[in-house]
Amino acid sequence: MGAADLLVALALSWVAVLPSHARAQAVCSAPHSSPTLAQSGAITTMPQGAGWLQFSAVASRATQSYGPFGGTLEFAGASEFDTRSAYLTGSVGLVEGLELWGQLPVHRLEVDGPAGVSRSSGVGDVRAALRVSPILFGYEWPVAVRAGIKLPGSDFPVDATELPLTEGQRDIDLSVESGWTSLDHSVYVVGWVGYRWRSENREVEYEPGDEFFAHVAVGGKAGSVHWELGVDALTGDDLVEQGVRLPSARRRLVQLLPTVGKEMGLGRLEVTVPISLAGRNLPVSNGVSVGYRYTWGM
C-alpha cells in the first residue's frame, strides 16, 4: 500500500509540526511496503532455497493533505515536505510452501516551512513476514496467507519539533492472497486483503488505530517489458491519544500504482509512480520509486 513506508515518512513529517493529536496520522502500507515490488503473476510460494533481493530508492514531495472529511488542504505556511528513502527488501523459500520476507528502510525527511528547515534521517520501521501456501500441506490451491510484524527501527522523539522516522510502536498484520494467470496470454491478476493490529506507543500515550488494507493488480509482459497496474486501499480505526478516542483522526487512502519493469543485466529494473486518488488525514504526495531486483533459484 501498500504500501508504503514512503507514505509513513511523508505523514510523520507532516504531523511533526501539527498539534499533538495529529501525530498518529501515518499509514503503514500493505505487505509489500516498497512501492516498486510489483508481482510476478505467480501466487505460489518459491521453491526451497530460491529467493530475490531488491534495492529501491524513493523520492516524494507533498504540499497538501487530505482533510479530516475529505477534500484537500494546503499545508500551513505553504510548507513543503520532501522524503528520500532507500529500501533493502528480500525473500527466500525456507521449505516448499513457506517463505521468509524482510525489509529494512532508511529515510531522510525534510520540512521547509515558515519556521525554517527541519531535517531528520535514520532507520524507519523494520518489517518481517512469513508467507504460507497450501503446498506446505500437500495441496496446490491458488491462495497464500501472510503473517507479518513491524518493529520501530529508531526511537520516537518526544519533542514535537523533531521529525519522527517511525511511530515507535509494533504492528502485527495478517492477509490472504490469491491470483490468476492466463494460460494463453502473458497476463495475470493478483490481490490480497488483510488486517493490521496496531499496538500503543506508551511513551507518548497514543494508539494509531487498527487498519484494514486491500490490493488488486493486473499485469503482464509485452516482449521484454513487464507492466502492472495496481490499486491500494487502506482505512484505519479511530486513533486514541492519552485515553481520548478521536474519530475525526481516522485515516483513509486509495492509491493507483502503475509499474513498468525491464530485464537488465542479472535482474530487473522497475519504476513505479504512485498516484493518490482519495484519502483522509494523509498527505497528497507526488513521487517516483526505482528498484532493481535480483532473483535466484526460480
Digit-coded pLDDT (tens) for 274-296: 999 999 988 888 889 999 999 99
The single-letter DSSP state of residue 68 is B
| Cα–Cα distance for residue pair 91/153, rounded to 1 Å | 19
When comparing pLDDT for 39 and 11, which is higher? 39
What structural domains does the chain harbor? Answer: 5-296 (2.40.128)
Burial 104-134, CB ≥16 within 10 A → b, else e: bbbbbbbbeeeeeebebebebbbbebebbbb
Mean pLDDT for 66-93 is: 88
Q: How far is CA 262 from the centre of its chain?
A: 22
Which grid cell sits at 115? 519556521
**Which residues, including other chains, have CB under 8 Å from residue 54's CB and lie 6 or more apart?**
34, 36, 37, 87, 88, 89, 90, 291, 292, 293, 294
pLDDT > 90? residue 167: no
* Predicted local distance difference test score (pLDDT) of residue 75: 83
Torsion of CA 232, 204, 70, 247, to 10 degrees: 100
294 in Cβ contact with 54 (< 8 Å): yes
69 burial level (CB within 10 Å; 0-12, 13-18, 19+): exposed
pLDDT > 90? residue 267: yes
Mean pLDDT for 255-259 is: 94
pLDDT > 80? residue 24: no
Q: How far is CA 46 from the centre of its chain?
A: 22
When comparing pLDDT for 242 and 37, which is higher? 242
Share of the chain above pLDDT 70, in %: 84
**Hey, how many other C-beta atoms are within 10 angstroms of the C-beta on 242?**
9
Digit-coded pLDDT (tens) for 48-63: 999 999 999 999 998 8
When comparing pLDDT for 36 and 127, which is higher? 127
* Predicted local distance difference test score (pLDDT) of residue 70: 77
Average model confidence (pLDDT) for the chain?
A: 82
| Cα–Cα distance for residue pair 272/34, rounded to 1 Å | 10
Mean pLDDT for 229-255 is: 89
Residue 168, sorted as left (phi over 0), alpha (psi -120 to 50) or beta, turns out to be left
When comparing pLDDT for 98 and 12, which is higher? 98
* Predicted local distance difference test score (pLDDT) of residue 206: 81
* Predicted local distance difference test score (pLDDT) of residue 229: 95
Mean pLDDT for 116-144 is: 90
77 burial level (CB within 10 Å; 0-12, 13-18, 19+): exposed
Mean pLDDT for 140-145 is: 90
Share of the chain above pLDDT 90, in %: 49
